[in-house]
């Protein structure tokens, strides 16, 4: 959470969650979800939502 970052009255928030699952010694699966929001008096902004998933293979 942050206040007055770029303009007086700004209120920024970020929340996220991530998880890593080790399926085997050589493989991991991961997932992440995050939301960024900005409230500024006199302006309307849409929230930014990020979702990603993937795998990591170790050689």
- Count of structural domains within the chain: 1
pLDDT of residue 51: 98
Q: What is the pLDDT of residues 4-41, one digit of tens each?
A: 666 677 888 999 999 999 999 999 999 999 999 988 88
Instruction: Report which of 39, 34, 38, 36 is spatially closest to residue 51, judged by C-alpha positions.
Output: 34
Question: Which residues are bridge partners to 42 per DSSP?
Answer: none
Q: Containing domain of residue 8, as a range?
A: 2-57
Rounded (10°) CA dihedral 20, 21, 24, 25: 30
pLDDT of residue 1: 63
CB 35 within 8 A of CB 48: yes
pLDDT of residue 12: 87
**Model pTM?**
0.68
Phi, psi (deg, nearest 5) at residue 43 = -135, 150
């Amino acid at each position: 959470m942050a206040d007055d970052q770029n303009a007086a009255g700004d209120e920024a928030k970020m929340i996220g969650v991530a998880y890593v699952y080790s399926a085997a010694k050589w493989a991991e699966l991961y997932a992440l979800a995050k939301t960024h929001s900005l409230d500024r008096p006199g302006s309307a902004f849409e929230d930014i939502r990020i979702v990603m998933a993937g795998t990591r293979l170790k050689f």
